[in-house]
Structures are given as C-alpha cells and as structure tokens.
Amino acid sequence: MAQQNTTVALEETAVQELASHLRGALLRPGDAGYEQALRVYNGMIDKRPALIAHCVDVADVIAAVNFAREHELTLAVRGGGHSGPGLGICDDGLVIDLSGMKGMRVDPSARTVRVEGGCTLGEMDHATHPFGLATPSGFISTTGVGGLTLGGGIGYLSRTLGLTIDNLLGVDMVLADGSFVTASAEDHADLFWAVRGGGGNFGVVTSFLFQLHPISTVYGGPMLWPLEQAADLMKFWRDFILNVPEEINGWFGFVTVPPAPPFPEQFHLQKMCAIVWCYSGALEQADTLFQPIRAKVPPAVDFAGPIPWPVLQSLFDALYPPGLQWYWKTDFFTDLSEKAIELHLKYGAQLPTMHSTMHLYPINGAVHRVGTSDTAFSFREANFAGVIVGVDPDPANNARMIQWARDYWMALHPYSAGGGYVNMMMDEGADNVKAAYRDNYARLAQIKATYDPSNLFHVNQNITPTR
Ligand SMILES: Cc1cc2nc3c(=O)[nH]c(=O)nc-3n(C[C@H](O)[C@H](O)[C@H](O)COP(=O)(O)OP(=O)(O)OC[C@H]3O[C@@H](n4cnc5c(N)ncnc54)[C@H](O)[C@@H]3O)c2cc1C
C-alpha cells in the first residue's frame, strides 16, 4: 500500500513538474477544457489521453517531448486535428497540442512566410493575402498546415506551383531526444528530405518556412453537370487537364448538391458531377481558356469566375464543419482508362450520404518537375490523386458509407498506380505505408533510425526505424 502511494505521489510530482515547465496549460481528464481539447475533426475518433500539453512555444514542446520519452508514454502530436484516423490524438498517453502556436511572419521582400506548427490553412492565407501572396495548400481552410505539409500537400495550385512541400524552404523541429534543429537544403538535408512527405515520423515541427507567390484573385469555383453526362465529362476533363497550361487546375468530383443557396432549387439533393476550377494566370484570358469546356460539355450550373484566393480556399468549409463521421480511401492513378471511368460511373452514382464524395485531383504539371526520389513523396509520375470519402453527421450511417468506400476502392485499385496518399489514408497498416513510399521507404526507415531510433513518434503513418 505504502509502495502504491509512493508511486502515485511520484507520478503526481512528475506531472506537476511538467506543468511547471510549460507556459501553456497541461490538461488531465476532469480538468476544465479537457473534453473540448480531445475533440478532433473526425467525429468517429474517440480517444482519451492522460495528458494534453497545450504548447505555446518551442520550450513547451521540448519539455513535453522529454517528459513523454522519460516516462515512456505514448506520444501524439496535434497540428490542425484533421487526420482521418485521428493521428493527432491517442489513448492514455501525452498529446502535444500545437493549436496555441499560431505565430506567423510574412517577409514581403523575400516572399516567404514563417508559420508556426498549429496554424490552419485559412490562418496562413489570412496572413499572406494582404500582401497579394500565397503558397499552395489544400481545399478546406480549417485543415492544419502541419499534417498537410508533412504528408505532401495537394491543392488548387498543384499543377501550377507543385505540392506544398515543393514550396517548403525549411523547418524548425524538436527531435525525439529533445534537441532543436533547423532542417533545410543546407542543414540536416537528410531530415529535410524526409519531412517532405514522411509525415510526423521525425519530430515535432514547430515552424515551417514557405516560399510565397503572387496569388491574389484567381478565376475559379465549381461547375456542375447531371450524372448522365459523367462519362463524356470525365473523358473531356482527363484530356483537358493533362494538356492545358499549368495555371489551370480543376478537380473532378461526384457530389450531392446541398439543399441551400446558391445552388438552384431544381438541383437540390441531386447527385451530380462537378469540376472545381482554379486558374491563376492572367484573368483577361480566363474566358478564352474555359471556352472549350463551356462549348463542348456545357455545365448545368456554372459558378466559375474571378474569386479572391482565400474565398476559394474556404468555399466548402461550411459544408464540412468539424465533428462529422469520416472514412477515407485513397489511390494514385497515372491514367483514367475507359474501364476505370465505367467503375467511377457505377460507384459515383451510389454516393451513400449527402456529404460523401469522390474527388480526383490533378497532380501533373509542376508536381512532375520534382523527381520521385527528390523528396519522400514518391508518386511524382502519377497524374491524379483519388480520394473516396464516406461522410455523414450520423454514426448510424457509418457501416453503409464505409462499405461503399471500400467497395469503390477495391473496384478501382487494380487500375491505380499501386499506392495511396498518406494524408488521405485511414489507419491501414505497415504494408500500405510502404506502398505509399515505394522505393523511398528504405531511406525513410534509415533516417528514422538516425533521428528517432526508439520510434517515440509512432502515432502517424508509421515508418519503422531500420539501420
Ligand atoms: C476536410 C479535410 C480536407 C482535406 N483536404 C486536403 C487537401 O486539400 N489536400 C491535402 O493534401 N490533404 C487534405 N486533407 C488531408 C490532410 O492533409 C490530413 O488530414 C492532414 O494530416 C491534416 O493535418 P492536421 O495537422 O490538420 O492533422 P493532425 O490530425 O493534427 O495531424 C495529422 C498527422 O500529422 C502530424 N502532425 C501535424 N502537425 C505536426 C507538426 N507540426 N509536427 C509534427 N507532426 C505533425 C500528427 O502527429 C499526425 O500524425 C484534408 C483533410 C480533411 C479532414
């Protein structure tokens, strides 16, 4: 009994000591704010950590990493909390919650922005837009810069300016041993290679330095077509997007039209196909560039036009608030064959719920100008990243939407390039992680062995340390 009391007392002392080293709050079950802090974007995730360290600076991160290592706790790192499988949180262990680290600094003359690890895409756009500048990121503005960047970063500017990692100039990181390093092309170049696609495997990124580009008002937005036109549209889109100037981006999707303005009432709750465009070239040329699609496959709804960059970036935020149930499947594709189109038509017509969707993101153009082994992100020759997501507010629909997503993916997978995008996978095991990195996996495993030999950072799409 005395032994047990001593153990409890020691643990309490240790926790109090950690709290005393943090400038941010340390939360435990029962504390005010704990229940709020454990909620992540995917409502399917229900994990309860023993400790949540709400870090506000690098010193807090160092203290929390050291504590987790010394006490052999499971350690999760939370950026924006958007991971499908809930990799920003864990059961029982310690969560480093970066959501308090929101600092940003734009350098307009160098055209760079330094972004702390807890920022969202929308917050980054907010900081850079007044300067008429932006860096490529993703499609929903509440997503974390942290996880999105570390996995690659596919978005509206991929064809034009590459993945988010192709615009990353350096990172500040806290490693598993508690040390602080800067990784860039000049410093710790192996680590910089690994974090450009290798996820949160190598440490806690406390800040990212990005190259910015003159992006302010673009020409974009959705066009919608009836499902009957899906085959013609997919073929047109495939040939168009593989050949048009790189300033044109446009992802294809199967969607259900939300029952609300600005969508015309006759289409409410109809399953349709969509292309959401983003053209970042000279606005006066936009009408000419979009004339072929408007002439050959006229859309039933056409919202494409000049739009401020942050508005396009957050167009779908209201449709996808936090807390919905999400189930993800993903694959890369080099082509979109007739047989694949046939399968898309079959499963696209069966979207199981209003929020469920399938997207094909074009990743040719600038993404192809970086070699398959130049960064950890491997599928550089793929032309499309595909994602199938079952989404709904009601957990009662989970079984149905998960089955649809799995069936759709199983049918399409034989026509894929063989692996998926780590940021759009669920917790699918080591083989799928290896398939996502292909030949880059062995080098990632070696770098992991150098920087995190005991796999402290394992709540992620995990790379096994191997010498
Ligand atoms: C609605 C929605 C839209 C999306 N759209 C896109 C898109 O357009 N393009 C795209 O490429 N992806 C997209 N994604 C996928 C997204 O990139 C991943 O879910 C990503 O992991 C989210 O990052 P996060 O920081 O928000 O997540 P978190 O759950 O906080 O973290 C995800 C993983 O990254 C690690 N991590 C996060 N921040 C850090 C850090 N600073 N240092 C070390 N490790 C860290 C975590 O430990 C965890 O393993 C989308 C996801 C959602 C839910």
Tell me: the pLDDT tens digits for 295-331? Answer: 999 999 999 999 999 999 999 999 999 999 999 999 9
139 CA → ligand 1 middle, Å: 12
**Is the CB of 77 inside a 6 Å radius of any atom of ligand 1?**
yes
Atom index in ligand 1 nearest the CA of residue 148 equals 17
pLDDT in tens, 160-201: 999 999 999 999 999 999 999 999 999 999 999 999 999 999
pLDDT in tens, 82-136: 999 999 999 999 999 999 999 999 999 999 999 999 999 999 999 999 999 999 9
**Is the CB of 78 inside a 6 Å radius of any atom of ligand 1?**
yes
Residue 8 predicted with pLDDT over 90: no
172 CA → ligand 1 middle, Å: 18
Amino acid at 304: A
430 is written with which tokens? Answer: 């080591």
Atom index in ligand 1 nearest the CA of residue 461 equals 49
**Is the CB of 140 inside a 6 Å radius of any atom of ligand 1?**
yes
pLDDT at position 211? 98
- Which parts of 227-354 are beta strand (E)? 248-256, 271-279, 301-302, 305-308, 325-333
- Which of 408, 401, 317 lies closest to 356 in space, CA to CA? 401
- Which of 287, 319, 306 lies closest to 393 in space, CA to CA? 319
Residue 2 predicted with pLDDT over 70: no
Contact 340, 415 (CB under 8 A): yes
Residue 9 predicted with pLDDT over 90: no
Residue 58: its H or E element: helix 58-70
What mean pLDDT comes out for the span 415-426? 97
210 is written with which tokens? Answer: 């990005």
How far is residue 314's CA from residue 149's CA, in Å, rounded to a whole number?
Answer: 18
Instruction: Among 44, 60, 74, 77, say which to mutate for ligand 1: greatest number of ligand atoms within 8 Å of CB.
Output: 77
pLDDT at position 352? 98
* Residue matched to tokens 């398959």: 372
How far is residue 415's CA from residue 77's CA, in Å, rounded to a whole number?
Answer: 35
Q: Which amino acid residue places its CA nearest to atom 51 of ligand 1?
A: 82
83 CA → ligand 1 middle, Å: 5
State what percent of residues in the chain have pLDDT above 90. Answer: 97
How far is residue 189's CA from residue 389's CA, in Å, rounded to a whole number?
Answer: 35
Q: What is the mean pLDDT of the chain?
A: 96
301 CA → ligand 1 middle, Å: 31
pLDDT at position 6? 42
Q: pTM of this prediction?
A: 0.97
What mean pLDDT comes out for the span 415-425? 97
pLDDT in tens, 222-279: 999 999 999 999 999 999 999 999 999 999 999 999 999 999 999 999 999 999 999 9
**Is the CB of 458 inside a 6 Å radius of any atom of ligand 1?**
no
What mean pLDDT comes out for the span 189-218? 98
pLDDT at position 94? 97
Instruction: Among 39, 61, 65, 78, say which to mutate for ligand 1: greatest number of ligand atoms within 8 Å of CB.
Output: 78
Residue 142 predicted with pLDDT over 50: yes
pLDDT at position 11? 83
pLDDT in tens, 371-415: 999 999 999 999 999 999 999 999 999 999 999 999 999 999 999
pLDDT at position 467? 87
